[in-house]
Amino acid sequence: MKDKLFTRREFLKDSSAAAVGTALYLNLPDALFAAADGKSRVVLIRDENVLDEKNRVRYEVIRDMLDTAVVRLLDAPDAAAAWKKLVRPDDVVGIKTNSWNYLPTPAELERCISERVQGAGVPEKNISIRDRGVLSDPIFKSATALINTRPMRAHHWAGVGTLLKNYILFVPRPSDYHPDSCADLASIWKMPLVKGKTRLNILVMLTPLFHGVGPHNYSPQYVWAYKGLLAGIDPVAVDSVGLRIIQAKRKAFFGDDRPLNPPAKHIALADTRHHLGTADPARIELIKLGWQEDLLI
Amino acid sequence: MENQQPDVTGLLPAPAGGWQAELPDQFFDRHNLYDYIDGGAELYLSYGFAALANRTYSRPGQPDIILDIFDMGDSRNAFGVFSHARETIDTTFGQGSQYNPGLLLFWKDRYFISLLGSPVTNESQKFMFALAREIEKSIPQTGELPALLSLLPQQSLVKESVKFFHHYIWLNTYHFIADHNLLHINEKTDAVLAKYADGAGRALLLLLNYRDAQTADSARTDFIREYLPEYSGNGAVQLEDSTWADCRQRGSLLIIVLNASGAGITGGLIREVRQKAEAPQNQQILK
């Protein structure tokens, strides 16, 4: 079946679509990761003290944020119980991070995740933390479980760098997924190396990049200390929430409704074309914890 | 003349003032630009990118300064790629520059130059500006702007908003229009997008110059069918969000006004573009 193409007129004519905004959609499938009530749960947690005066991450604070988010996400009594729901002692766990020079996954967060996975009984030798090189990493090649984490940032060609996009290094030729502004990134998630293995997605919103310029798509002017993490099982839902925060920040900063350029269509298409999860805010249960100032959502 | 233009590798300034080029220089062409800016190469390729030279300058206690010099093959395309980052009108360097702390972008002739050093210090900024000045001097001539810019009405034009491109994806820069190539834009299409603002009045003007009138007509037909089905050809249409839109064709040129605050500003912009297109000095623009 041919995918539906969208213009602004269709959003204007359809009030429900207009309320959703520029990128989120109609004809929703049942989300793969939806909870019993049909909604995908996403936890947004923020802590005013997670960064020091130089935007360095405070380990103890981010550890507590992660624990609180995972407990609430899974309705577990405590962090240890929550992580035991996510991984088993016999799992081989790949923690897929992002090493982009200007905004990498914080080492402190990588450490927290690894410690919690070990706390659930997985031996350290069965855990690998990597971005580039996952295709040649023996742990990733034999992984039974993946944990996906990266910062959200404006991206040259995908609109935003997302959890969905973070799996592009699981394919030998990432540029194969660039056509149509990375529309089909979600198809990577159906490849045998990753399909069905992702237990947790953590989108780092500590200092997101909301606008990109220049060949490195980076200017410190367009980074702000949001001091948040987004956690969920459904990567499409988590990315969808992150995108709304980025769009809200752009509107606040530029003073007009400046759309991402190019639009982050791969998030919506992960829902409507690839049925990987839900991008529709009406079908996302967003739980907001912690610091509430300038929440933007 | 072509042979007077310096090769991109010859534009890399030598290290000075305690700064060193410790890492090997890098050079890229159309075939391997992905190796350098994976995911970002499409922007430059869509503008006819020809070559890139990269050098990193290092000094103890200072952020690395990454210099990228892009040869875009043509000054119009160098302007186009620069126009994507432009938020203000500034000609401190080259034919137009944009400085945010830690990032300097500018263009001159067929070259687009980026200098990135973050987090910025007084020393790094000083050296970055010195590099920019040296590169600027090494490029002997200035380049032409896209001819299509001469059709833009000047009154109420938000000058820093003007974008020039050949790829449909940039249509959505200010205003989501469509998630597909509704207007048949390709590398043979010159596109200009510009904002107009005058008090409460506002509009977005899109000029598209196709390779021929037939292509323009085909794009116009599809645009009206998908975006303005109620359009009768007799004036602007008011949309559901109370904004106004219009679309007119003259030969290879499509003139589209979107997101306008009234029918008056819409008609005024179209009238003035048509007058400019008919002026003798601009008649070679249309095909």
Note the pLDDT of residue B5: 60
Using a CB-CB cut-off of 8 Å, the residues of chain A touching B165 are none
Q: Is any Cβ of chain A less than 8 angstroms from the Cβ of B230?
A: no
Q: Are B258 and B248 in contact (CB under 8 A)?
A: no
Of B188, B209, B201, residue with least CA distance to B285: B209
* B103–A263 C-beta distance less than 8 A: no
Task: Please confirm whether the linkage preceding A215 is cis (ω < 30° from 0).
Answer: no
Q: Does B264 touch chain A (CB under 8 A)?
A: no
- Residue B8 in contact with residue B69, Cβ under 8 Å? yes
In chain A, whose CA is at the least distance from the CA of B120? A220
The partner residue sitting opposite B102, judged by closest CB among A175, A220, A259, is A220
Task: Please tell me if residue A13 touches chain B, with a CB cutoff of 8 Å.
Answer: yes
Residues of B whose CB is below 8 A from A7:
177-179, 182, 226-227
Q: What is the amino acid identity at position A246?
A: I
- Note down pLDDT in tens along chain B; length 287 residues: 444 566 898 999 999 999 999 899 999 999 999 888 866 788 899 899 999 999 999 999 999 999 999 999 999 999 999 998 898 999 999 999 999 989 999 999 999 999 999 889 999 999 999 999 999 999 999 999 999 999 999 999 999 999 999 988 888 888 788 878 999 999 999 999 999 998 889 999 999 999 999 999 999 999 999 999 999 888 899 999 899 999 999 999 999 999 999 999 999 999 999 999 999 999 888 87
User: Least CB-CB distance to B172: which of A178, A213, A261?
Assistant: A261
Q: Which among A102, A213, A263 has the least Cβ separation from residue B176? A: A263
Residue A3 banded pLDDT, cuts 50, 70, 90: low
- Asked if B40 lies within 8 A of A259 by C-beta distance, the reply is no
Closest chain A residue to the Cα of B106, Cα to Cα = A214
The answer, for B116 touching chain A at a CB cutoff of 8 Å, is: yes
Task: Search chain B and give the residue with CA nearest A13.
Answer: B240
Which residues 203-222 in chain A show a CB within 8 A of chain B?
A: 213-222
Residue found under tokens 């559901």 = B240
Q: Which residue has the higher pLDDT, A10 or B225?
A: B225
A29 touches chain B (CB under 8 A): no
Q: What pairs with residue B96 in β-bridges?
A: B107
pLDDT at A25: 29
What's the whole-number average pLDDT of chain A?
A: 88
How far off is chain A from B282, nearest CA to CA, in Å?
A: 31
CB contact, 8 Å: A175 with chain B? yes
Cα–Cα dist B135/B129, whole Å: 10
**Chain B residues within an 8 Å CB radius of A257:** 175
- Interface check for A258 against chain B (CB to CB < 8 A): the answer is yes
Beta carbon pairs, A and B, within 8 Å? 112
Q: Hey, is the C-beta of A19 within 8 angstroms of any chain B C-beta?
A: no
By CB atoms closer than 10 A (0-12, 13-18, 19+), residue A17 is middle
Task: Establish if A173 touches chain B: CB-CB under 8 angstroms.
Answer: no
State the nearest Cα–Cα gap between B281 and chain A, in angstroms.
34
Confidence of residue A5 (pLDDT cuts 50, 70, 90): low
- pLDDT score for B174: 80
Provide, as residue numbers in chain B, all residues whose Cβ is less than 8 Å from the Cβ of A150: none
Query: Is B228 in Cβ contact with A9 (below 8 Å)?
Result: yes
pLDDT confidence of residue A36: 46
Of A5, A102, A158, the CB nearest to B39: A158
Rounded CA-CA distance A248/A231 in Å is 19
Q: Is the pLDDT of residue A16 over 70?
A: no
Does residue B197 sit at the A interface (CB-CB below 8 Å)? no
- CA nearest A268 in B: which residue? B179
User: Cα(A200)–Cα(A210) distance, rounded to whole angstroms?
Assistant: 24
The full 3-state SS of B23-39, as one line of letters, equals CCCEEEECCCHHHHCCC
Element (H, E) at A271: helix A265-272
Cross-chain Cβ contact B105/A158 below 8 Å: no
**Measured distance CA(B207)–CA(B174) in Å, rounded:** 14
Nearest-angstrom CA–CA distance, A217 and B10: 25
B42 and A182 within 8 Å at the Cβ level: the answer is: no
**What Å distances lie between residue B5 and A139, B53, B77, B81, B141, CA to CA?**
52, 15, 16, 19, 8
**Nearest one of A186, A224, A231 to A204, comparing CA atoms:** A231
Which residues of B are less than 8 Å from A102 in CB distance? 118
User: What is residue A103's DSSP assignment?
Assistant: S
**Choice between A54 and B203, residue whose per-residue pLDDT is larger:** B203
Q: Does B165 touch chain A (CB under 8 A)?
A: no
List pLDDT tens digits, range A137-165: 999 999 999 999 999 999 888 889 999 99
Reported as a single tens digit per residue, the pLDDT across A26-37 is: 222 333 344 446
Collect all residues of chain B within an 8 Å Cβ-Cβ radius of residue A215. Answer: 36-37, 40, 44, 68, 70, 114
Q: What is the mean pLDDT of residues A25-48?
A: 64
Cβ distance of B116 and A218 shorter than 8 Å: yes
CA–CA separation, A74 and A83 (whole Å):
9
Contact residues on chain B for A157, CB-CB shorter than 8 A: 39-40, 42-43
Q: For position B16, what pLDDT does the model report?
A: 94
Determine how many CB atoms are found less than 10 A away from the CB of residue A129: 20
- Of the candidates B163, B154, B67, the one whose C-alpha atom is nearest the C-alpha of residue B115 is B67
The dihedral through the CA atoms of A46, A48, A50, A54 has a sign that is: positive
